[in-house]
Structure 1
Amino acid sequence: MNRDNILAVLKPLIHDLVSGNFELIEQSGRNGPYSSLELKELIDEYGGQLTSPPEDDFININVIEIENEPEYAVEYELWIDNTKSDLTLSCTVRTETDKETISIENIHVL
């Protein structure tokens, strides 16, 4: 899987987080172990307003290939109040029959 494929599923997830579309994230199965309410609480606890990152910041995603699996661990530092923060989105991107899926693993301070 190349970086563009990962970004193709990561960017919409970040957009939905920034837009507060937590129910849509849950309905689409990208929420991982969290309910929509828990996702909102994880972000609200940090403080400030989650904002969209500049396009050129996506070069800073950390991608780790999981050995012997069709998946990747991805970490990305979210932006709060138009500034990069230490609030990190950890997720898993999987390749399934010519399509990628993404699932949140954690939103935490790193």
Structure 2
Amino acid sequence: MKKLTPLKAIRAKCVDCCGDNRKEVAACPVENCPLWIFRAGKRPKEDYDKSPLKTIRAYCLQCGELNSRDDVRECMVESCPLHEHRSGRTGRKLSKAEKERRTAILKEARKAKA
């Protein structure tokens, strides 16, 4: 399977869930699905303080039988587009400046939401 970005992986999972019908993804009625807000494969315009990776992690935790980290870690469904992102991490190291920048953005989004 081709390596996908987290947003493209979410889009692929949504298309798969809708029976490979891309039009159905736009009309998806399952608003309580963690992936719903990213279903178009783009970041939402409104403030949303979770990253696509953390959203994938939340989805994978729901998908597991016991809703546990062990279920997610041991997931064997490699055909799932979300599989490589299931840990909620990219595997790459961020610089200290990048971590601080992202933390500041999340704090601002949370303040605006409150």
The interval holding the TM-score normalised by the smaller chain is under 0.3
The two structures have a TM-score, normalised by structure 1, of 0.24
Query: Which structure is higher in helix share?
Result: 2
> Larger Cα Rg: Structure 1 or Structure 2?
2
Query: Which structure is higher in strand share?
Result: 1
